[in-house]
């Protein structure tokens, strides 16, 4: 494809001051939110001495130079557009190198009460609402990923569903990074408001050409009373990429949030979930699968706070680690005083395919209520020799048998996706990921 004509990029300095750098056409509230975030970051990026960053070190990352694309045409390689095509109708919203690409997007007719807009459009038509939601769940003062996104961010998408509104087709957010001579940085912000009794299925794909870049998406997802949000994310980025992502979620009474995350790519990745259960009978389900090799680092840090009782959490993370890869699972579940009848279960499992790989699991249940049912478990092990022998005794070669078992291990995560076509899309990505790791990551 033709080279892109890009306007000059600005380089991100990792030294921050508290000064407000107003951008052209930017509302004052956004400038001040960015200034506040910069003030937080002025103390520096979190070091491994900070407990929640003990296993993931950003110091080397912060010595890299990243540039931000100020403007320019957004175009994407056909291969990536094809790769992210799901064999079912969806409202497709495409970002290329961090910028909304209307020409590549395809948002169909939506029922009344539903809006899907770029962040810029939403600001110009509904500034007050956006100002209220931006940063309401992703707290820049306490969360470094939120702060980085707020400090540098531009662009994003806003999806709102009014009371009782439902989208039958999923919204597919596609984030594409293209090869570039400079390492680019993208900080998209996704704001979701699922009104009372509404239903939304959100698919996120993060894909790229080879190259170094920094992807820093933040989603704020408010699930109102009796609403349901399903959120299926595929992170399949280049091995030189850094991916620092946060999903900040709040649930009202009877609300449901179901997430399935499949993380295959990036050299250094951290996927955070920060979930606040504000209403009784809310249900949270988090599934995570990661498939990494080489020197990849994949961090999964989740924090779920049960502020009220009679709500449930189910959390299952499964990692496959090969080479010298390092997987991190930090799962905190807090049950606040009085949140009785909380039902929360967490499981972390890793499959170690090489002796050089490393898995760190830190489950943390902080229970301040009496009458609760909570459990957690963590296990780590190699492929089961009995399973391997069983498959080989049927004529399946050793490498193919290993691949089947690894795919099976991850398939349990992917099976949580309720839509067959989307499941097939994730399964394909997992299979490609396995092969890219050079034969079953063995």
Partner 1 sequence: MLEIRNLHAKVDGREILQGLDLVINAGEMHAIMGPNGSGKSTLSYVLAGRDGYEVTAGSVLFEGHDLLALKPEERARAGIFLAFQYPVEVPGVPSATFLKTAVNAVRKARGEKEYDAFEFLKLMKAKRDALGMSEDMLKRPLNVGFSGGEKKRNEVLQMALLEPRFMVLDETDSGLDVDALRVVAAGINALRRADRAMLVITHYQRLLDHVRPDVVHILSKGRIVRSGGPELALELEAKGFAGVMPGAAA
User: Rounded to an integer, what distance in angstroms lies between the CA atom of residue 29 and that of residue 130?
Assistant: 10
User: Is 395 an interacting residue with respect to partner 1 (CB under 8 A)?
Assistant: yes
Residue 162 interacting with partner 1 (CB under 8 A) = no
Bridge pairing between strands 343-352 and 256-263: unpaired
- Rounded to whole angstroms, the Cα distance separating 211 from 266 reads 10
Interface with partner 1, residue 368, by CB under 8 A: no
Among 21, 389, 421, 428, binds partner 1 (CB under 8 A): 389
What is the per-residue binding string for partner 1 in 409-428, x denoting contact by CB under 8 A?
xxxx--x-------------
Binding of partner 1 by 408 (CB under 8 A): yes
Q: Residue 63: how many CB atoms within 10 A of its CB?
A: 8
The three-class DSSP label of residue 309 is coil
Does residue number 370 form part of the binding site for partner 1 (CB under 8 A)?
no
Residue 370 or 398: the one with the smaller Cβ distance to partner 1 is 398
d(CA 253, CA 340): 15
In the set 12, 357, 405, 441, which binds partner 1 (CB under 8 A)?
405
d(CA 126, CA 362): 42
Q: Please report the beta strands in 119-188, taking only residues with DSSP state E, as ranges in sequence order.
A: 156-161, 171-177, 184-186
| Nearest CA-CA partner of 84 in 216, 212, 236 | 236
Q: Give the Cα separation of 434 and 314 in Å (integer).
A: 27
Residue 81: HSE in the Cβ half-sphere, 13 Å Cα cutoff: 16
Nearest approach, Cβ of residue 85 and partner 1 (Å): 21
Q: Of these, 404, 424, 436, 442, which contacts partner 1 (CB under 8 A)? A: 404
Stretch binding partner 1 (CB under 8 A), from 59-67, 84-92, 368-376, 390-398: 390-398
Q: Which of 377, 397, 438, 439 binds partner 1 (CB under 8 A)?
A: 397
- Tell me how far, at minimum, the Cβ of 296 lies from partner 1, in Å: 22
Which one of the spans 42-50, 79-87, 236-244, 384-392 is the region binding partner 1 (CB under 8 A)?
384-392
Q: Does 377 bind partner 1 (CB under 8 A)?
A: no
Count helices and strands (H / E) in the chain: 7, 23
Binding-site residue total for partner 1 (CB under 8 A)? 24
CA distance 123 to 130: 6
* Residue of 392, 419, 423, 436 that binds partner 1 (CB under 8 A): 392
184-186/213-215 β-pairing: parallel
Which of 218, 259, 270, 215 has its CA nearest to residue 237?
215
The one segment of 23-31, 175-183, 291-299, 402-410 that binds partner 1 by CB under 8 A:
402-410
Which range touches partner 1 (CB under 8 A), out of 54-62, 153-161, 279-287, 389-397? 389-397
3-class secondary-structure state, position 49:
coil
Choice between 127 and 412, CB closer to partner 1: 412
Stretch that binds partner 1, among 217-225, 279-287, 364-372, 405-413 (CB under 8 A): 405-413
Residues of this chain that interact with partner 1 (CB under 8 A) are: 385-387, 389-398, 400-401, 404-405, 407-412, 415
């Amino acid at each position: 494809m033709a080279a892109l004509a890009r306007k000059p990029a600005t380089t991100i300095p990792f030294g921050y001051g508290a000064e407000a750098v107003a951008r052209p056409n930017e509302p004052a509230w956004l400038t001040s939110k960015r200034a506040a975030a910069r003030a937080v970051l002025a103390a520096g990026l979190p070091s491994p001495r900070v407990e929640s960053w003990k296993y993931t070190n950003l110091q080397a990352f912060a010595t890299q130079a990243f540039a931000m694309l100020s403007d320019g045409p957004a175009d994407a390689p056909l291969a990536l557009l094809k790769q992210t095509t799901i064999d079912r109708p969806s409202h497709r919203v495409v970002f290329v190198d961090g910028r909304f690409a209307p020409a590549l997007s395809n948002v169909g007719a939506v029922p009344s009460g539903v809006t899907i807009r770029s962040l810029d459009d939403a600001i110009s038509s509904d500034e007050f609402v956006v100002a209220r939601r931006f940063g309401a769940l992703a707290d820049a003062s306490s969360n470094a990923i939120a702060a980085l996104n707020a400090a540098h961010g531009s662009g994003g998408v806003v999806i709102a569903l009014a009371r009782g509104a439902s989208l039958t087709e999923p919204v597919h957010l596609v984030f594409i990074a293209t090869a570039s001579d400079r390492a680019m940085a993208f900080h998209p912000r996704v704001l979701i408001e699922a009104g009372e009794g509404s239903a939304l299925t959100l698919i996120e794909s993060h894909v790229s050409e080879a190259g170094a870049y920094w992807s820093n998406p933040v989603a704020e997802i408010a699930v109102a009373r009796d609403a349901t949000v399903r959120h299926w994310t595929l992170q399949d980025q280049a091995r030189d990429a850094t991916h620092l992502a946060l999903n900040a979620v709040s649930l009202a009474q009877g609300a449901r949030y179901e997430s399935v995350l499949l993380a295959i790519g990036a050299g250094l990745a951290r996927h955070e979930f920060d979930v606040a259960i504000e209403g009784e009978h809310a249900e949270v389900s988090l599934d995570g699968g990661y498939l990494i090799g080489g020197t990849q680092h994949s961090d999964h840090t989740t924090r779920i706070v049960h502020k009220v009782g009679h709500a449930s959490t189910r959390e299952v993370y499964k990692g496959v680690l090969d080479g010298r890869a390092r997987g991190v699972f930090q799962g905190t579940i807090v049950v606040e005083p009085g949140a009785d009848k909380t039902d929360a279960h967490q499981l972390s499992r890793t499959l170690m395919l090489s002796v050089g790989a490393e898995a760190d699991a830190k489950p943390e249940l902080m229970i301040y209520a009496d009458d609760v049912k909570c459990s957690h478990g963590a296990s780590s092990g190699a492929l089961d020799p009995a399973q391997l022998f069983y498959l080989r005794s049927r004529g399946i070669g050793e490498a193919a048998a290993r691949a089947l078992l690894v795919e099976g291990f991850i398939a349990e995560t992917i099976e949580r996706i309720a839509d067959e076509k989307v499941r097939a899309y994730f399964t394909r990505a997992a299979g490609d990921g396995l092969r890219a790791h050079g034969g079953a990551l063995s």
